[in-house]
Amino acid sequence: MRILFLDQSGELGGAELCLLDVAKPYRDHSVVALLADGPFRAALEQHQIPVQVLTARSLQIRKQSGLWQGLSSLRQLLPLAVRVSQLSQGFDLIYANTQKALVVGALASGLGRRPLVYHLHDILSEEHFSSVNRRLAVLLANQFAAQVITNSEATRSAFVAAGGQSRLTSVIYNGFDPATYQAADRDVVRRSLGLTGFVVGQFSRLSPWKGQHVLLEALTNCSADVTALFVGSALFGEQEYAQQLQAQVTALGLQDRVRFLGFRSDVIPLMHACDLVAHTSTAPEPFGRVIVEAMLCGRPVVASAAGGAIELVESGSTGWLVPPNDPQALAAAIREAQAQPDTASAIGDRAQQQASQRFDLLTIQRQIAEQLQQVSQGKPVGNPAPCRDPP
């Protein structure tokens, strides 16, 4: 099948890492068109996935854009949509992977009469999007998309609550190749980074809603041999927050207990070096790739009990869930994991076993392939049942 994938970002966020895996089986006849240049292009090229960067200037719509800003971006949008509609003539369908890609893809789909699939990686709630953007996403999806693939039940429910048509949706979790997450030499990694004691890792871009500040606060209620390793950078311009975190470290006197490594492409060995992985989002996480990655590494996870995380982790069995934005509860879970290494290890093992089955990349690629096949043949698409099994 020939697919024109569209993504707004040149950065390597979760949606882009997911698309990398979705696009691989189609690389001989498909193209990923990007609305911005960046490391994502290099990653696609590295996997021999054809890529085209469509614009030198990123689109001026922001997640919190109002009506006026949205309208004023039309001058930029329309020529892009025309270009994508022309490009789409050589493909069976357009696959929009992000919000801005949906806007361009929907217009192009209408102009060029190509079916549109929308892969929704975001929770369409007021915490993440302005009401104009929520309404626009739902309107365009309802009007133009033949299928909306959502990355969790939480994402699907938010789409429907915002007015999206339920009949368009299916839940398909992100897929992962379990073999990639095999044990790294944990001691070598720890020595090379000078890590000692009980290490809590946090693997996310630096952003207020990813809640790195909550883990810093929690550290003050843990014993002095607990250290935190932050992996990730301010991918989408949240430099101010990065500076606030540094100031918080100083204010709390945590300089010797905290490391910021910036963005790393070797997340797997770094996860193996941790004793616990903390997912600290203060708003509902649409899916939470890092949670599954930690599970696949056999590392126990403590995650914020909101959004997709609730579908991934069963508290006390395959990880711990704590209320979002609650440093005390997070600290209590860290103390428990540290005090009961056997329980933590059993939780990590169970999580690894379960995640290898539930999020197996080949199964998920097959589910997406079935959906795309049906869309390209103009058939109604059903929900792939196995993805929605409870943990």
Which residues contact ligand UDP by CB under 6 A?
12-15, 17, 203-205, 231-232, 263-265, 267, 287-290, 293
Shortest Å, Cβ 127 to ligand UDP = 13
**Helix crossing, 14-23 with 289-296: angle to 10°?**
70
Indicate the residue among 134 and 289 with the shorter CB distance to ligand UDP.
289
Indicate the residue among 91 and 230 with the shorter CB distance to ligand UDP.
230
Phi-psi region of 232 (alpha: psi -120 to 50; beta: other; left: phi over 0): left
Indicate the residue among 97 and 338 with the shorter CB distance to ligand UDP.
97
Q: Which residue is nearest to ligand UDP (CB)?
A: 14
Shortest Å, Cβ 293 to ligand UDP = 5
> By C-alpha distance, which of 121, 229, 218, 209 is closest to 171?
121
Q: Which two tokens stand for residue 330?
A: 């997070």
Cβ distance 164 to 237 under 8 Å? no
Shortest Å, Cβ 134 to ligand UDP = 18
> By C-alpha distance, which of 206, 207, 249 is closest to 228?
249
Shortest Å, Cβ 307 to ligand UDP = 11
Shortest Å, Cβ 17 to ligand UDP = 5
Indicate the residue among 17 and 252 with the shorter CB distance to ligand UDP.
17
CA distance 340 to 87: 57
Phi and psi dihedrals of 50, rounded to 5? Answer: -60, 135
Indicate the residue among 381 and 387 with the shorter CB distance to ligand UDP.
387
Indicate the residue among 84 and 200 with the shorter CB distance to ligand UDP.
200
Q: Which two tokens stand for residue 339?
A: 């005090």
In 28-68, the DSSP E strands lie at 31-34, 51-53
Shortest Å, Cβ 259 to ligand UDP = 13
